[in-house]
Copies of this chain bind each other. A is one copy, B any other.
Amino acid sequence: MTKSSVTSTDVAKLANVSQSAVSRTFTPGASVSGKTRERVLAAAKELGYRPNVLARSLISGRSRIIGLVIAYLENHFYPIVIEKLSRSLQARGYHVLLFMTEPGQQDEVIQEILQYQVDGVVLASVTLSSHIAQECAGLGVPVVLFNRYVPDTQASSVVSDNVSGGRMLAELLIKEGHNNIAFIAGQENSSTNVEREQGFNEALAAAGLQVSQRAVGYYTFEGATIAAREILDQAVPDAIFVANDHMAFAVMDVIRGEYGLRIPEDISVVGYDDVPEAGWPSYNLTTVEQPVEKMIADTVEILLEQMEHKQVSPTRRVTEAGLMLRGSTKSSLA
C-alpha cells in the first residue's frame, strides 16, 4: 500500500479549500464552482492525487468489485470468458477479483469473497450451495452462475440452450446416416453435460436410435483420451459426440494417431463450445457454438441491474446456440 500517499486533505490544503470541496470535484454530479474545481484539479495534479477507492467504498457501500470464481482454465472456453467479462466490466467502471477454486470448495471461497464487500459474484464452471446463495441474496449481492444451472436457487443463471445444442448434433449425425453413435461425457453431474446428453438422446430416440457406447472424460484432455480408447478398444462406432471441444481434440488425436482411422471418412466427431482451436485446420471440428459474447452481455446486464437496486431476484437467461459445421463430419465430404 502507499507509503506516503497523497490524501484529499493534502490537496485541499494546497488548493486552499475544504476537504469536502476536493471530494466534490471528484464526485460526478456534485455541486462545485468552476473556479474551485479548477484549483482543486491543479493541486491534485501537482501532488499526484489519486482517490482511495477503499475509503470510498467503505462509506459509499459499493466497492465496484465483482468476484469471479473459476475452477479451472484448462478448457480454453474459460480464459475467453475471463477476458471478455473483465473487459466488459472494466468499461463500466467495475473490476474483477479472481478466485481459483477446487471444485467443492466454492462455498468457503465465497465467504472469502464476501469479505471484500464485492458488489456481485460470477461463478463459472462452478455452482454453489443453496444456503450460500441465500446468504448472498440476503446481503443484496447478486450471483450469476455462468454456464451452469441450478434449479430453485437464489442465484441467477446465464446459459446457452444445451438441450437444443445436443439435439442439433444428434440430428446432424442422423441425417448423415450414422446409426452407431458413441457419447463421451464430461462431468457427470454438471448441468452442461446433463443437458447436452439429454438433448442428444432425445433426438436419437425420436429417430428410433440410441447411443451405442458411452464413456466419461471428466472434461479433461487426459480423461477424454482414456475414454476414447475405452470405446475404440471395444468397437469402432461410426460417430462420436464428445461433450466439449477440449475433450474432442483428445478424442480426435486418439482416433487418428493411435487407431489410424480417418475423420470423417471412418468416424465422425462432434464437440461442443466452438473454442478457437476447433477452427484450427488440424482439428477443423464440427461443433456447437456457445455465444459467449451474448452470454457475457447477459451476465453483465443482470449484475448491473441488480446491483443498482441492491435487490436480487433470480433470473434465468438462455441463449440459443448454433451449429458450426466444419470438417469432422461427413457432410463436409459432399
Contact = CB atoms under 8 A, between A and B. Distances in A.
Interface of A: 1-5, 48, 50-55, 57-58, 61-63, 65, 68, 72-74, 76, 78-80, 82-83, 86-87, 90, 95-100, 111, 114-119, 135, 138-141, 221, 249-250, 252-254, 256-258, 276-277, 280-283, 310
Contact of A82 (B82, B116, B283): B82
A58 B117 CA distance: 13
A276 B95 contact: no
A2 B95 contact: no
Q: How many monomers of this protein are in the complex?
A: 2
Contact of A1 (B50, B55, B62, B281): B62
A95 B116 contact: yes
A3 B283 contact: no
A100 to B, nearest CB: 5
A302 B39 CA distance: 40
Report the 6 A-B pairs with minimum CB-CB distance, sorted nearest first: A3-B140, A253-B281, A79-B79, A73-B79, A257-B281, A53-B115
A25 B289 CA distance: 52
A117 to B, nearest CB: 5
A249 B280 CA distance: 9
